[in-house]
Copies of this chain bind each other. A is one copy, B any other.
Amino acid sequence: MRIAICGAGTVGSGVAEILQGNRALIEARTGSSIDIEILASRSQPKAEVFAGLTFTSDVLSVCGDENIDVVVELMGGITDAKRLVEDALKAGKSVVTANKALIAEYGEQLFELAKSHGVQLRFEAAVAGSIPIIKVVQESLAGNRITQLAGIINGTANFILTEMAVEGSRRSFLDVLSEAQALGYAEADPTFDVEGIDAAHKLAILGGLAFDQPIRFKELVIAGITQVDPSDFTMAKTLGYCIKHLGIARKVDAQLELVVGPCLVPMHSPLASVDGVRNGVLIESDAAGETLCTGPGAGAGPTGSAVVSDLIDLVREGANGTSLGRRVSRVETLSVLKAEDSRSAFYLRMTVTDESGVIAALTAILAARSVSLDKIFQQNLTDNRSMVVLITDQIRQGELDAAIEELLAHKAVVSDIQKLRVY
């Protein structure tokens, strides 16, 4: 199989490294070879692994090249990548991509295009690095009705939250962010990672596969990690939780709930031990039960490994293979649950004046809105103030938000109210 690698960055170098370094192994396993026919990139490639490869800066030219069987899109971004993928599919070439934004926002129309031209569009590398989560959802659990999927799917955010949680450190978000940038775990502009956009792209892809329907990216409710305070880690730990940035997709009655944001996760949950830049996805399904997969969520080797697994599947299945990426038909279509209708337990943290009767007054406001409490924790601060932390029972978010408005209007509450979902 002859491929074009389009994009000469980190992932491109990882793919070239694997295909060259493990060439004999891959040939022995598949009975076939995967040859890099050409490297295409607008800028001159720098990595040593690319030395010796035929190079073109005219990326789109690979689509008209009869020597190319498969186009590997690793440029990133949307506009040019979309043009390349469309042209390749129209030219009858299968495409392998690591581009989560492209698949999250235009996957549906690209899958249709691939189908109409009798070729495949594969994207294992688009979500969670080397964790084979696309294959697990699409193939291994294909006989299951998936009920819930929750993932730590942004390594940058998980690194920052893990560092902030180190006992006694009380480091701020911005402090740890600088460290992550120095270590190369966060971009100079970290917006996509810390504001939850990247995780939302991945959740849109995973949720779409798990629930057999396209998810419009704009329907997702997205929160990042910038508002998580050092005190939240201390309080969460006291109450038996850690804090993780999760993407959650779950079926609630006949609706689909999609949430991206920081959550309190019970310490005994398998997701609680997924630390640092690692990713992890937990899937609950009717027959298979709880399946957890964890691994490195990014990097040349891990993401390259996922790209190569797609290439090997293309070799193995040949022209007749059908990825389940495009579901043939649909059993049902779920509408997306509105944020205010979402039901969950929540964590609330606020500062109150230290007068007698304050807790009674606040809990009365909550009780009047049917918000019952699972846990309550109070800690004296200086200046006659206290920090109050509440864990609610399951409650409709709209109800809780109304109660929070009333709490904020109460004279004893002298801070904003931090609200985090409890997973």
Contact = CB atoms under 8 A, between A and B. Distances in A.
Interface stretch (A67-75, A172-180, A317-325, A406-414): A317-325
A143 B316 contact: no
Contacts of A285: 305
A252 interface: no
Given A312-B139, A322-B316, A290 B296 contact: yes
B144 A139 contact: no
A29 B294 CA distance: 26
Given A144-B22, A301-B288, A320-B320, A329 B293 contact: no
A28 interface: yes
Interface stretch (A55-63, A130-138, A237-245): A130-138
A23 to B, nearest CB: 10
A328 B291 contact: no
B142 A309 contact: yes
Contacts of A289: 130, 295-296, 299, 301-302
Contacts of A304: 143, 287
A26 B287 CA distance: 13
B130 A305 contact: no
A1 interface: no
Given A273-B270, A309-B139, A145 B22 contact: yes
Interface in A247-298: 270, 273, 285-296
Contacts of A14: 287
Nearest to A322: B316
Interface in A138-188: 139-145
Contacts of A22: 143-145, 286-287
Contact of A144 (B18, B290, B327): B18
Contacts of A290: 295-296
Interface string A64-91: 0000000000000000000000000000
A340 interface: no
A130 B287 contact: yes
Nearest to A295: B291
A25 interface: yes
Contacts of A25: 143, 145, 212, 331
Given A130-B288, A287-B14, A295-B291, A31 B144 contact: no
A305 B14 CA distance: 34
A301 B31 CA distance: 35
A308 interface: yes
Given A212-B29, A288-B130, A313-B139, A320 B322 contact: no
Nearest to A301: B287
Contacts of A329: 27-28, 31
A336 to B, nearest CB: 20
Nearest to A318: B320
14 contacts: A18-B287, A25-B145, A31-B328, A135-B136, A143-B309, A143-B311, A143-B312, A285-B305, A287-B304, A289-B296, A292-B295, A293-B293, A316-B321, A317-B320
Instruction: Give me the 4 closest cross-chain CB pairs, A-B, nearest first.
Output: A143-B308, A132-B140, A31-B328, A130-B288
Given A22-B143, A124-B140, A131-B291, 19 more contacts: A14-B287, A22-B145, A25-B212, A25-B331, A29-B212, A29-B327, A130-B287, A130-B289, A130-B291, A139-B313, A140-B309, A141-B309, A287-B301, A287-B304, A288-B301, A289-B296, A290-B295, A291-B295, A321-B321
